[in-house]
Amino acid sequence: MEKAAPYLAYFYKFYTQKLEKEIKRGTIPNHIAVILDGNRRWAKKALTMSKNGHFKGADAVENFLDWCEELDIKIITLYVLSTENLDRKDNELEYLYELIRQRLEKLYSDPRIHKNKMRVKAMGRTELLPDAINDVLKRLDDATKGYDNHYLNIAIAYGGQNELVDAIKKIATRVKDGSIEVNDISKDVIEANLYTAHLPQQSPDLILRTSGEQRMSGFLLWQGAYSELIFMDILWPEFRKIDLLRAIRTFQRRNRRIGK
């Protein structure tokens, strides 16, 4: 088995390069959104602590961002933490908060966000998060608010229903103060009040979920109306470049009618 390992590694590298060349001849999604699922199940399968699954999952996020940079994907939206996740109130959540803070600090220090002119923005009810996380999120927002070449959206303390409620409240406030009439409320007005209002393309071309679950879990309920959905059995910490390439190839083979 050990003698076969180098051959398997060579085959994997060869096939990955071949597949990458293939998909680059087609349309690369402009906006990819990902539900990062399976950290805890990976840890259970590996007979290790849940926090090790989150650590490996954080590594997978960094790798994923590298691959998206190589493919020049302009907009990335990552579902990192839902509002429901905040109800755990246990040691695992505290570890997760600290891990997120550390990786955000690492991102803040990464010169590539400036080289690529990447706008980094949190999406969600971030007031529910610890001050330490909000501090680095604000620094990332301030440091990148003038960029518009690439976008990294971090859905954290996020819920799709909450997003719609918050948008409705904003619009209702404008109706109440007389700055807009009820009959003026349109699709464009709603989108201007969503968490994704800063994006040049709010709707993802492709929404990917790992771990084998086939549901949206409240992710981008408005924006994902016409997105292509791809569900993969692989657990997030095991996600490889070849999995991303296969997802893009699947996307390219679909006939996107957008309601037509």
* Closest C-alpha among 108, 114, 117 to residue 138: 108
Catalytic residue among 52, 66, 72, 85: 85
- The answer to whether the annotation marks 38 as part of a ligand binding site is yes
- Sequence letter at residue 214: Q
Average model confidence (pLDDT) across the chain:
94
Q: Rg of the chain's alpha carbons, rounded to an integer?
A: 19
Q: Is 228 annotated as a binding residue?
A: yes
* Contact status, residue 191 vs residue 157, Cβ threshold 8 Å: no
End-to-end CA, the chain: 52
Q: Indicate whether 251 pLDDT > 80.
A: yes
With bands split at pLDDT 50, 70 and 90, how would you rate the model's confidence at 143? very high
Q: What is the pTM of this model?
A: 0.93
CA–CA gap between residue 212 and residue 208 (Å, rounded): 11
Is 233 tagged catalytic?
A: no
> Is residue 253 part of an annotated ligand binding site?
no
- pLDDT for 1 equals 46
Burial (Cβ within 10 Å: 0-12, 13-18, ≥19) of residue 44: middle
What residue has token string 């998206």? Answer: 68
59 a catalytic residue: no
Q: Which of 37, 153, 193, 243 is the catalytic position?
A: 37
Q: What are the sequence ranges of the domains in the chain?
A: 27-252
The listed CATH number (3.40.50.740, 3.40.1180.10, 3.40.50.920, 3.60.40.10) that belongs to domain 27-252 = 3.40.1180.10
pLDDT in tens, 161-195: 999 999 999 999 999 999 999 999 999 999 999 99
pLDDT tens, residue by residue, 188-239: 999 999 999 999 999 999 999 999 999 999 999 999 999 999 999 999 999 9
Residue 216 annotated in ligand binding: yes
pLDDT in tens, 50-97: 899 999 999 999 999 999 999 999 999 999 999 998 987 678 899 999
Q: Which pLDDT tens digit goes with each residue over 98-136?
A: 999 999 999 999 999 999 999 999 999 999 999 999 999
249 is in an annotated binding site: no
